[in-house]
Structure 1
Amino acid sequence: MDLARRMRMSQGYFSRVEQGQKCLSLRTLERLATEIGVPVSELTTSDGG
């Protein structure tokens, strides 16, 4: 199943989040981390690239 659909987001909005054009609320960020099985910190730390 598509991650955007599981997160109840449009594909377009989810794509803009991935591209850094939109920011998620903390609550949605927490849901995303849970959905993909990683800690929130994994999604919020910069790798310098």
Structure 2
Amino acid sequence: MHCWVIAFFNLAYLIFCKLLLQCIILSSLILPTVQDCPYMLLQDVIS
């Protein structure tokens, strides 16, 4: 595999873990709006 492919997957994995952690924290803070979490994280990524 090329170095950039490995780097890309590492970056994607780190971002995924960060968002997952944020989602868990958000859902623990605001349980009723847990279904909104993926949308909120998507907005965070886009912005």
Pairwise TM-score range, normalised by the shorter structure: 0.3 to 0.5
Greater helix share, structure number:
2
Q: Which has the higher contact order (CA 8 A, sep 6+)?
A: 2
TM-score by length of 1: 0.33
**TM-score of the superposition, structure 2-length normalised?**
0.34
Q: Which has the larger radius of gyration?
A: 2
